[in-house]
Amino acid sequence: FYGLKIGFCGGSIIDNLPFIPIPVPVTHYNISIGERNLNDPNDGQKYYISTKAIVHQNYAPCSDSFGNDIALLKIAGEGMNVPYISDNGLGSTNCICLPSPTTNYTGNDVITAGWGRTNKNNDNTASILQYATIKVVSDSDCSATYGSSYDSKTMMCAYASGKSSCNGDSGTALFTPPTTTDAYAAAVGITSFGRQNCEGYPVVYTRVSTYLDFINSNKGQMNQTKILKY
C-alpha cells in the first residue's frame, strides 16, 4: 500500500476487504496485490486505487500510545478476483480469515511477513517478501518491555530469538499457520510498533479479535473503488 502521506505499508484481504493500520486519515492509496519482488514491476502483481478509508474512531496518532491502530480500505472493485493466481505463481494471493474472539494464542506459533529492515545495523529493507515463524508471548512480557504504552485489550506481542518484524513491516498480518486440521490462516494481529533495532524484544501487534465489531460493522460503508490497471 502506497499512501499520500506515508511511504509503504502492508495489509490483508478479508472478504475482499483489506484492513491496514495507517497513521493519518488519508483516503487515496495505490494498492498492489500479488506483490513479491518490489523491484520487478512484472512479477505478476495487479494494481488498484482506493478512494475511501475508515480509521478507527479512537485512534490518536499524536498520543504516546499506538492503540486502535487499524483502518479499513475497500479494494474489491471491478476486475478484482480473489483468490488471485499470478502468472508465475509466486505472487498468488487469497483472503485471510478473521480470528476467534475467544481463543488465547499465547505460546502459539504465528507467522510474520513483510519487506521491512533485515539488519539492525542499517536501514536497508528487503526487496523480496520475507517471512518468519515466531511465538505469541504473554501480556506480562509485553508490559515489562513497553510499560504503560502496552494495552493488553487492544494489543498483543510476538517474538523469537533472531527473528522479528521491523521497520517497514507495518500493516502486515501476524497470522496462524495452516495445519493438517485447520487449512485456513487467521490474522490474529497487525504489525504496529516495536523497539528501534527490533532485535531482542517482542514486537507489538494490533489485536484483531478486539476489532471484529469494527470490521464487520463498517463493511457496508466501503465503496468508491476502481481498478487502476491490470
Q: Are 12 and 187 in contact (CB under 8 A)?
A: yes
- One-letter amino acid identity for 56? H
Could you tell me the pLDDT band of residue 42, with boundaries at 50, 70 and 90? confident
Which residue ranges make up each domain of the chain? Answer: 8-94+211-228, 96-209
Q: Looking at domain 8-94+211-228, does it have CATH number 2.60.120?
A: no
Tell me the per-residue pLDDT of 177-201, one tens digit each, with 9 for 90 and over.
Answer: 877 566 678 999 999 999 887 888 9
pLDDT at 36: 84
CB atoms within 10 A of CB 4: 10
Give, in degrees to the nearest 5, the angle at Cα 110 between 127 and 168: 30
| pTM (2 d.p.) | 0.85
Choosing among 3.50.50.60, 3.40.190.10, 3.40.640.10, 2.40.10.10, the CATH entry for 96-209 is 2.40.10.10
| Cell reading at 140 | 506480562
**How many percent of the chain have pLDDT more than 70?**
73
Q: Is the pLDDT of residue 208 over 70?
A: yes
pLDDT at residue 227, rounded to an integer? 34
Dist. CA 132–CA 35, nearest whole Å:
17
Domains 8-94+211-228 and 96-209 agree in fold? yes
Mean pLDDT (the chain) is 79
